[in-house]
Amino acid sequence: MDTSDIRIVLVEPSHPGNIGAVARAMKNMGLERLVLVNPRQFPHSEATARASGADDVLASARVVATVQEALAGCGFIVATTSRPRDQYFRVADVRDAAERVLQEARRAPAAVLFGSERAGLSNEQLEAAHLLIQIPASEAYQSLNLAMAVQIVAYELFRARGGVQIDTAPAAGPLADPVEMERLFEHLAQVLEEIDFRDRTQGGTHLMGRLRRLFQRAALDRNEVNILRGILTAIQSRRRRAGDGTERE
C-alpha cells in the first residue's frame, strides 16, 4: 500500500512543537504526507527539534490557507473529534476507520483531519468528512495531545496495512472530491429553491445541513455525483418547458 495516498491534515495548529512531534509519529508509522492549514508558527526551530529525525516529513510538509485546499483531490475523508456531535454524523472506532481509510486510498487519495489544540474542528470544517473518529479515553480525563492523537491513528493505519486483509474490492471509480460535492450541494439547493421545497424546521436553516450529511455518509463516487446532477438538470429543464406552456409527455 502506497502511504503517499494518505494525508495527515493539521488544521490551525498553534504549537510548533506539536507539528514536529506529529512528523515524528508519522515517520514511525510509515506516513509521509503532512499538510498544515494556517499554522501559527511554521517553520520553527522547536518543530525541527521535536521531529527528532523526521526532518524529511517536515521539509515536505505543505502549508495551505484553507481546509478546502488541503483536501483538494482527495476522495475519502475522515475527521477526528473529542466531543459528541450532531447525531447525523457517522462515528467509527479508530481501528475500523483505519481499515476503511486504507481501502479507500486504493482508488483516490484519502485524508485524516485533526483540529487545533484548543478548539478542535468546527462543524463547518467537519462538513467534508465522510466519517468521524473518536478515540476512546478515560471519562476522568479525555483530552489527548495533538501528537498523541496522530500517533494513535497512525499506528492503527500501520497495523491495518500490515496485518489485516481487506477483501472488499474497490468501486469502479474514485470518490467525488470536496469541490465536486460542493457543486452538487449548490445545484441541489438551487433546484429546491426552484421547486419551492422549503425547510420546515422551526429555524428554517437545517435542511441543507442534513442533506449534506446524508450524501457524505453515502460516500458518493464521481459517477454517482454526475448522475444526481443530471437528474437535477432534467428537473430544471422539465420545469422550464412547463413554464413555457409546452405540452409534456
Give the model's confidence band at 81: pLDDT under 50 very low, under 70 low, under 90 confident, else very high: confident
* pLDDT for residue 235 is more than 50: yes
Largest CA distance in the chain: 73
Beta sheet of 6-11, edge-to-edge order: 62-64, 33-37, 6-11, 110-114, 77-80, 131-134, 91-93
In this structure, which amino acid lies at residue 25? A
Angle, vertex CA 34, rays to CA 28 and CA 39, nearest 5 = 120
* pLDDT for residue 206 is more than 80: yes
Domains detected in the chain: 3-163 (3.40.1280.10), 178-243 (1.10.8.590)
pTM of the model: 0.82
Residues 103/117, Cβ–Cβ less than 8 Å: no
Residues 21/44, Cβ–Cβ less than 8 Å: no
Q: How is residue 181 annotated by DSSP?
A: H
**What is the structure's pLDDT at 205?**
72
Q: Give per-residue pLDDT as tens, 24-73.
A: 999 999 999 999 999 999 999 999 999 999 999 999 999 999 999 999 99
| Partner residues linked to 241 by β-bridges | none
Q: Quickly count: other Cβ atoms within 10 Å of residue 178's Cβ.
A: 22
Distance, in Å, from the CA atom of 57 to the CA atom of 138, rounded to the nearest integer, reads 31
